[in-house]
């Protein structure tokens, strides 16, 4: 049955609910980690309220230099950048992101400028979407969810996720290696699936803590490292299987695919001062 909307607000509200259901996990979290660059503290507080109520993890910065420092150390699923900033411009930060980050993270631009030339220029510089201020809750949540849906690998609607020789049975939360079932705990399965879905991407410990455990990324804990070690051992992640798990000193982990292109779906890297295999 076709649903009719009487206004743009009603449309975005409905779209937001539909996309939220698409991302919903069994724990009820959407699992999108967002970094915001916005110097208007009132706007920041509003966005944090909106995203928090929608199940997103939100980290806000008011100046470009602090935002760039965070991007050097942390992992995010999506960025929201304001055009006008006290120490730089959103366009300059966007240019730095596209030049320095090896992962194409989606960027949503917010601006009070409504000239078509400015919006086209921002998109040409690498923005994935834009919103003209004042922004609205339903539309903002819908656009964020749509960007995440297009960019993040996999979703909870999948029944299986395969990366040779690994096969994750998402519905039953089990994993097979070379056809043999491997017993994992709930968190070990979630961590392993997250790593393989993001193969080749450097994931910070804070990102892993927030995404898998739903806890603050600021906690000083060895939980992530302990579970990484267990997952690596239980799934036999090593070069003989075509994968390598490295820990990146003071940052996190990356799964690297060692097989020829096309032989598997994903990849990982790992820990000591130079990023040695663990």
Q: Return the higher-pLDDT residue of 220 and 48.
A: 48
pLDDT of residue 20: 46
Instruction: Please write the tens of the pLDDT for every residue from 169-210.
Output: 998 999 999 999 999 999 999 999 999 999 999 999 999 999
Q: Return the higher-pLDDT residue of 8 and 172.
A: 172
User: What are the sequence ranges of the domains in the chain?
Assistant: 8-151, 160-269
CATH of domain 8-151: 3.40.50.2300
Helix or strand (DSSP H, E) at 61: strand 57-61
Instruction: Please write the tens of the pLDDT for every residue from 19-29.
Output: 444 444 433 34
Question: Can you point out the beta strands (E) in 101-239?
Answer: 107-111, 129-132, 160-163, 166-169, 174-177, 180-182, 203-204
CB–CB of 205/217 below 8 Å? yes
Q: What is the mean pLDDT of residues 128-146?
A: 93
Question: Which residue matches tokens 């003071």?
Answer: 250
Of 3.40.50.10330, 1.10.10.10, 2.60.40.1120, 3.30.950.10, the CATH number of 160-269 is: 1.10.10.10
Q: Return the higher-pLDDT residue of 152 and 72.
A: 72
């Amino acid at each position: 049955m076709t649903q009719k909307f009487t206004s743009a607000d009603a449309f975005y509200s409905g779209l937001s609910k539909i996309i939220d259901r698409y991302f919903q996990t069994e724990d009820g979290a959407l699992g999108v980690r967002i970094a915001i660059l916005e110097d208007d503290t009132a706007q920041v507080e509003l966005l944090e309220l909106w995203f928090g109520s929608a199940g997103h993890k939100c980290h806000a910065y008011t100046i470009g230099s602090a935002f760039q420092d965070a991007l050097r150390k942390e992992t995010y699923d999506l960025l929201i950048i304001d055009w006008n900033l006290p120490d730089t411009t959103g366009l300059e930060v966007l240019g730095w992101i596209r030049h320095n980050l090896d992962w194409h993270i989606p960027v949503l631009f917010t601006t009070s400028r409504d000239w078509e030339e400015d919006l086209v220029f921002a998109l040409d510089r690498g923005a994935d979407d834009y919103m003209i201020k004042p922004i609205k809750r339903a539309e903002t949540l819908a656009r964020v969810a749509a960007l995440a849906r297009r960019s993040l690998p996999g979703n909870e609607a999948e029944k299986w996720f395969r990366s040779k020789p690994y096969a994750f049975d998402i519905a039953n939360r089990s994993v097979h290696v070379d056809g043999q079932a491997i017993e994992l705990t709930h968190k070990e399965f979630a961590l392993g699936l997250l790593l393989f879905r993001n193969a080749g991407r450097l994931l910070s410990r804070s990102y892993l803590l927030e995404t898998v455990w739903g806890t603050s990324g600021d906690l000083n804990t060895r939980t992530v490292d302990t579970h990484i070690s267990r997952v690596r051992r239980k799934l036999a992640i090593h070069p003989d299987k075509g994968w390598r798990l490295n820990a990146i000193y003071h940052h996190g982990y990356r799964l690297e695919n060692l097989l020829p292109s096309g032989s598997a779906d994903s990849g990982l890297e790992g820990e000591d001062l130079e990023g040695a295999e663990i």
